[in-house]
Chain A
Amino acid sequence: MAQRLKGLIQWLDERVGLGDIRALGTHKQVPIHRHSIWYYFGGTTLFLFGVQAITGILLTLYYRPSPEEAYESVRFITGEVEFGWLIRAIHGWTANLIILVAMIHLFSVLFLRAYRKPREGTWFTGFAMLLLFLGFGFSGYLLPWNELSYFATRVGTEIPGAVPFIGDTIVQVMRGGEEVTGATLSRFYGLHIAILPAMFTLLLGVHLFLVQRHGMSVPESVEKASAGKPARTMPFLPNFMLRDMVGWLGVLGLLAGLAALAPEGDGFFVKLELGEKADLFGATPAGLRPEWYFLAMFYSLKLLPGHIFGIDWLVGEQVGVLCFTLVGAAFFFLPLIDRGKRFLLVRVAGSLVLVWLIVFTILGRVMK
């Protein structure tokens, strides 16, 4: 048996070059230091993306993207198809976890200043992928075509309308018309299962290539401490890979637990219950909130007055959207902004943003 396996491996090696891949893995070194834990979050994000791809593909087998059938088909999946509830619950929970893990990954890179030369490209692609995750979340949320998602999308797609001059056009392009209708559903479906995955795959390829190319970044503090001496490392294969696997298994177990115990979400931050089908002419349900990862922005916009300082041309919503855009741009261009000794500033600003995100997400959920 073992003999035969060895034969198979050899056969493959001769044709594919397994040895090269293996050599690549064993030569790749992962530094060991007190910040090593943060290295795992990238891999976990990747693992969760794999879960999303598989469960997502499975869901397309039964899902039907039309206003007449979308809700019914999701109900069919959870109610009639065996283990359909499990697939949908895992997809729903992972969608939320992946954004959380990706954000942790982003802030760890930010605070460890891992984006500095020569890893600017890794940062750019990574940040863009986080934005794509938000896009995945936003587009996927509408697909069940239930009451909550319908109205959340109606509110959500209205926000770009605050952009001067082209706002209305953006809203129309997003909705595929004046209103959120079946046309919007078609659009969001296409976005969710084709456009975003294609873009994501491309970015992911570049991201992984760059990570491979530059190796793991060692934090400056660790570099300084080791003072030129060769840092302690472990080979990616098998040591780091096995550790990664332990983490993934933990995440998988977490997902299994969440899906089995709370298939409809925790009911507080994560809401996966289907509820009633969207009624286009129904009243907007009370206490409408977006998904938790949009809560901070949602609540900030809500707090802004209609006109800031009562000035006519300072429309609250416009200013808010402008601020988010600026902060987002600043994040994206961080490696270009942070040159030389500006790291303290970046750390303070990053901390402020992180605190804002946490506090406003909680406030957005708790406040009426």
Chain B
Amino acid sequence: MDRDPTLRSRRSFLDMVIGLGFTGLAAAVLYPVARYLIPPVRSGPGTRSVVLDPDDPAQVDPETRIFVFGSRPGILVKGPGGQWKAFSAVCTHLSCTVRFQAESNQIWCPCHNGLFDLNGRNIPGTPPPRPLEEFEVHEREDESGKKTLLVSKGRSA
């Protein structure tokens, strides 16, 4: 049909562009999809709940008992009855980060010496006006018998 060689070469060039274009498009679509399929190494912190291994120093600081809860710090302690308790580590006085104090077995704020008991209640006579916000803690056990804690902001069903 196409006896004109210039027309034919122009046509094959166009076909080549189209072929290249589709290849490029396929790459542009498949690249993000492929990257998406690779799971991220680290599970990210939630803003409303987080799964913690209480013995992992990378997750819960062994000394201060601080863990990361979204963009704010949380604190994980063993309550007076031996059960796990988690609170927002944001002091109710001036929003400093509180920490566990082993000597006194209390939660202590280094900014103004605010104290909370292990139920998160502010100790009268210290600056904090209110108890710490408490989180819900659910103990979970995986197949290998390893215990983890699901810490979540309360009141979600």
Contact = CB atoms under 8 A, between A and B. Distances in A.
Interface in A270-306: 276-282
Interface of A: 58, 61-62, 67-69, 71-72, 75-76, 79-84, 86-87, 181-182, 249, 276-282
A72 B46 contact: yes
A83 B32 CA distance: 6
Interface stretch (B60-68, B84-92, B99-107, B148-156): B148-156
A58 B33 contact: yes
30 contacts: A58-B33, A58-B36, A61-B36, A62-B39, A67-B157, A68-B156, A71-B48, A72-B46, A72-B49, A76-B40, A76-B46, A79-B44, A80-B40, A80-B42, A80-B43, A80-B44, A81-B39, A81-B40, A82-B36, A82-B40, A83-B35, A83-B36, A84-B36, A86-B32, A87-B33, A181-B157, A182-B157, A277-B153, A279-B156, A280-B157
Nearest to A59: B36
Contact of A82 (B38, B47, B49, B157): B38
Contacts of B43: 76, 80
A347 B40 CA distance: 55
A87 B36 contact: yes
Nearest to B155: A281
Nearest to B41: A80
Nearest to B31: A83
Interface string B140-152: 0000000000101
A280 B37 contact: no
Nearest to A281: B155
B42 to A, nearest CB: 7
Nearest to A274: B47
Nearest to B33: A58
A279 B155 contact: yes
Contacts of B156: 67-68, 277-280
Interface string B98-133: 000000000000000000000000000000000000
Contacts of A280: 155-157
B63 to A, nearest CB: 27
Interface string B18-41: 000000010000001101111110
Q: How large is the interface on B (under 10, 10 to 19, 20 to 34, 35 or more residues)?
A: 20 to 34
A277 B32 contact: no
Contact of B33 (A83, A181, A276, A282): A83
Q: Is the contact region of chain B dominated by helix, strand, or loop, or is it mixed?
A: loop
A167 B155 CA distance: 29
A68 B38 CA distance: 24
A280 B48 CA distance: 13
Nearest to A185: B157
A87 B46 CA distance: 20
B45 to A, nearest CB: 9
Given A249-B25, A280-B155, 16 more contacts: A58-B36, A62-B39, A68-B49, A68-B150, A68-B152, A71-B48, A72-B47, A80-B42, A80-B43, A80-B44, A82-B38, A83-B36, A276-B47, A279-B155, A281-B155, A282-B155
B25 to A, nearest CB: 8
Tell me which of B36, B38, B42 has the highest count of chain A C-beta atoms within 10 A of its own C-beta: B36
Contacts of A87: 32-33, 36
A65 B102 CA distance: 40
B35 A82 contact: yes
Contacts of B40: 76, 80-82
Given A67-B157, A81-B39, A76 B44 contact: yes
Which 8 pairs across A and B sit closest by C-beta, in order of nearness? A72-B46, A83-B32, A277-B48, A80-B44, A82-B35, A80-B40, A83-B36, A181-B157
B153 to A, nearest CB: 7
Nearest to A242: B18
A72 B48 contact: yes
A277 B36 contact: no
B15 to A, nearest CB: 11
Nearest to B44: A80
Contacts of B35: 82-83
A81 B40 CA distance: 6
B46 A75 contact: yes
Contacts of A68: 49, 150, 152, 156
A362 B69 CA distance: 40
Contacts of A182: 157
